[in-house]
């Protein structure tokens, strides 16, 4: 489904006003934790719980 330019702009305004994004970084010493995280079917859901 193609969005109109107005819908794209509305979505972007909503995202900027209501959504927060966080980034996780894994260093080489934490490779075991990264491997475990990559095995999870829904890591974002796991973090929320």
Tens digit of pLDDT for each residue in 1-18? 788 999 999 999 999 999
How far apart CA 16 and CA 13 sit, in angstroms, is 5
Residue 37 placed within a domain: yes
Residue 36 forms part of a structural domain: yes
Contact 25, 33 (CB under 8 A): no
Q: pLDDT tens-digit profile of 16-25?
A: 999 988 888 9
CA atoms within 13 A on the CB side of 12: 7
Q: Is residue 29 part of a domain?
A: yes
> What is the number of domains present in the chain?
1
Residue in 20, 28, 18 with CA at minimum distance from that of residue 47: 20
Decide if 46 is inside a domain.
Answer: yes
In a domain, 48, yes or no: yes
Inside any domain, residue 14: no
State which residues form the domain around 41: 23-49
């Amino acid at each position: 489904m193609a969005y109109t330019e107005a819908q794209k702009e509305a979505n972007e305004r909503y995202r900027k006003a209501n959504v927060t994004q966080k980034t996780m970084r894994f260093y080489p010493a934490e490779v075991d934790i990264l491997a475990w995280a990559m095995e999870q079917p829904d890591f974002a859901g796991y973090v929320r719980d």
